[in-house]
Chains A and B, each alone.
Chain A
Amino acid sequence: MSLVDVLNVTKEYANGEETIRPLDGVSLSIDEGDYLSLMGASGSGKSTLLNLIAGIDQATSGEINVAGTEITKLSRGKLADWRAAHIGYVFQTHNLIPVLTAYENVELPLLLLPMSAAERRKRVEIAMEAVDLTSRASHYPRQMSGGQEQRVGIARAIVANPTVVVADEPTGSLDDETTEQILQLLSRVNDELGMTLLMVTHDADAGKRAKRQIRLERGRLMENGNETTSTHLRTA
């Protein structure tokens, strides 16, 4: 069994009288340790799929299993607890809490987990070191550059050692040089820490940095221009 199993998932929402269906019977499997990039045009449903796997959106139909938990059946409260333990989310716009320091931002997900203050401190220090921002621990987001903010965002996403790290356009708001740094950092997260990574991007070059590249076109998953039939990637 894969770490993430998306089975025949459809997502619909209403836009006035029109029904939009960004995902139409999509199936996908992600193994532990995978680094998968999800690409596609704007509105192709790539962020929708990522949000469904991250448990912050609800599928209209279908089933999503992550590390043996069928998250489509969890209540809102249970889903929040599950996210705290299993998902690390890297946002396009960093989404750091402005009134908290870099250290406190990274510590925030750990406050949801049962662990001692000493263990928390140790984990935050390791995460800050992994993104090479130990010296900026006491800085507030407004005192950091965009790249540094995103590195804090990545530290926050990995600090709880989540089952899956999801990154939604993590380089979308960064310049080329910083983009390269962030992509290298994400590769290290996958290679050195062994974390499973799912990245949504519209940037083909960024997407190629992943071990596997998937495209979403008109609600369908494609690999190499064709609807895929691989064991890891299925469409209904």
Chain B
Amino acid sequence: MLGSKLLPWDYGVRNLFRRPSRSALTFGGLTIVVLLVLVVVGFIRGLEKSLAATGNPNVVLVYSLSSAADIENSSIPGSTASLLSASVDGVRRGHGVEYISPELYLGTRITTATVDEPGMGLVRGVTTNAPLVRDRVQIVEGFWPQAGEVLVGRLAHSKLGVQSDDLAVGSEISFDGKTWKVSGRFTAAGSAFESEVWAPLADLQTTLKRQDLSLVAVGMESPQQVADVDMFCRERVDLELKAVAESAYYAALQKHYKPVRMLGWVVVALVAGSGIFAGLNTMYGAVVGRVRELATLQAMGYRRRAILLTLVQEATLLACAAALIACVLGLLLVDGAAVRFTMGAFMLRVDSVGISVACTVAALLGVVGAIPPAAKAMRLPVVEAIKAI
């Protein structure tokens, strides 16, 4: 019976076009609010995905005990990789090669050919074993670097604050007193590696006049065997090494960024809240101009609930249309946009979670924005409202 006592669907839809400029302004405001929500959620999701995608539970990172969680500050003997190879069982092996990647990792100022001001970049000295351990790394353009060459991640330019073309294959970059030629580009499934510059380990050590390593990444047969590496580090107290599963390392970093993510959700709530107030203001204006009409419907026999539903329908329709446009704009403009942060760079993600949050916010804007003004109009006695101007 309720269905038969509702106002026609067309009534609500046509009311949206009754005051086109007002509806257009509201629509624009709601679109901006939902787009802002998408940007913030995209930021949170991008950060989460970047850190989550980086950690592999089968890979264990061995680095200096004294460096806490900062691998850039880690310095371990250059012989660590061969010691691990000789002492630890369960290291993954393929085609006669052990999955052990000695690496030198540092943050340094990098200059590109077209930009005078150097940008702070992340450089990783690697051997050809690195792609075995970092199995999501794929060279998408060019070749593995030889001496004097570097391989750049697809977001390295964002981290440096330069254009993508500045790191094109064949271009040159300078850091630590040496000029390097870009031999290729790589992707790493959205992980933090994508914002790095990879150079041949030996070449980098020579340039930096260093013989040590920052870390050794070891690919194990299974996550359970990570404990064997940990045991080795505990036994060789003289080496002052620490072993942490790569997934645990980045999970700890995620915790480090928790306040940032929380702040992001607070911003989502604030943006949504301001949108609701904007919606309320608009709906008050819209309802005030229709007091007599709403009273006429009541005099005819339409219940307050039916009229309230129609007003909510109008506002929700507008908000949902705004959400649709905002999602399209988000996918076109926001999704994939690179953002720099201390650990590198990551891409904003407009994924199913972001779209769900945006649609929920839009629905809330519609419902919460419509109910108070509608309820206020309904409270007015019919006999008074029916003669309202």
Chain A positions near chain B (C-beta within 8 angstroms): 47-48, 51, 54, 56-57, 76-77, 80-85, 87, 89, 91, 93, 95, 97-100, 104, 108-109, 111-112, 114, 156
Which residue of chain B has the shortest Cβ distance to A108 in the bound complex?
B300
| CB–CB A51/B383 < 8 A | yes
Shortest Cβ gap from B283 to chain A (Å): 17
Point out the residues of chain B lying under 8 angstroms from A81, CB to CB: 301, 303
Say if the beta carbon of B117 comes within 8 Å of chain A: no
Say if the beta carbon of B298 comes within 8 Å of chain A: yes
Say if the beta carbon of B14 comes within 8 Å of chain A: yes
10 chain-A/chain-B pairs, Cβ below 8 angstroms:
A56-B299, A56-B382, A80-B298, A84-B302, A85-B301, A91-B296, A99-B17, A109-B301, A111-B8, A112-B4
Say if the beta carbon of B11 comes within 8 Å of chain A: yes
B contact patch SS:
helix
Which residue of chain A has the shortest Cβ distance to B382 in the bound complex?
A56
Say if the beta carbon of B15 comes within 8 Å of chain A: yes
| CB–CB B300/A89 < 8 A | yes
Shortest Cβ gap from B15 to chain A (Å): 6
How does the 8 Å CB contact mask read for B284-308 relative to A, with 1 for contact and 0 for none? Answer: 0000000011001111111110000
| CB–CB A95/B296 < 8 A | yes
Say if the beta carbon of B95 comes within 8 Å of chain A: no
Say if the beta carbon of B71 comes within 8 Å of chain A: no
Which of A77, A89, A95, A100 has most B Cβ within 10 Å? A95
Q: Which residues of B (361-389) have their CB < 8 Å from a CB of A?
A: 381-383, 386-387
Point out the residues of chain A lying under 8 angstroms from B178, CB to CB: none
| CB–CB B302/A97 < 8 A | no
Which of B14, B17, B292, B301 has most A Cβ within 10 Å? B301
| CB–CB A99/B14 < 8 A | yes
Point out the residues of chain B lying under 8 angstroms from A97, CB to CB: 11, 293, 296-297
Say if the beta carbon of B93 comes within 8 Å of chain A: no
* Contact A104 B301, CB 8 Å, known A56-B386, A91-B296: no
Alpha-carbon distance between A80 and B7 when the two chains are bound, in angstroms: 14
| CB–CB B383/A80 < 8 A | no
| CB–CB B300/A83 < 8 A | yes
Shortest Cβ gap from A93 to chain B (Å): 8
Which residue of chain A has the shortest Cβ distance to B296 in the bound complex?
A95
Say if the beta carbon of B18 comes within 8 Å of chain A: yes
Partner of B11, one of A76, A84, A89, A100: A100
| CB–CB A91/B386 < 8 A | yes
Shortest Cβ gap from A98 to chain B (Å): 7
| CB–CB A83/B301 < 8 A | yes
Q: Which 4 A-B pairs have the closest CB atoms?
A: A84-B301, A99-B14, A95-B296, A83-B301
Say if the beta carbon of B5 comes within 8 Å of chain A: yes
Which of B18, B303, B304 has most A Cβ within 10 Å? B303
Alpha-carbon distance between A53 and B100 when the two chains are bound, in angstroms: 92
Point out the residues of chain B lying under 8 angstroms from A77, CB to CB: 303
| CB–CB A99/B18 < 8 A | yes
Shortest Cβ gap from A116 to chain B (Å): 11
Shortest Cβ gap from B249 to chain A (Å): 61
| Given A91-B296, A109-B300, 13 additional A-B pairs, CB 8 A | A47-B383, A51-B383, A56-B299, A57-B383, A83-B301, A87-B301, A98-B18, A99-B11, A99-B15, A100-B8, A104-B8, A111-B5, A112-B301
Shortest Cβ gap from B135 to chain A (Å): 61
Partner of A54, one of B4, B5, B7, B299: B299
Which residue of chain B has the shortest Cβ distance to A86 in the bound complex?
B301
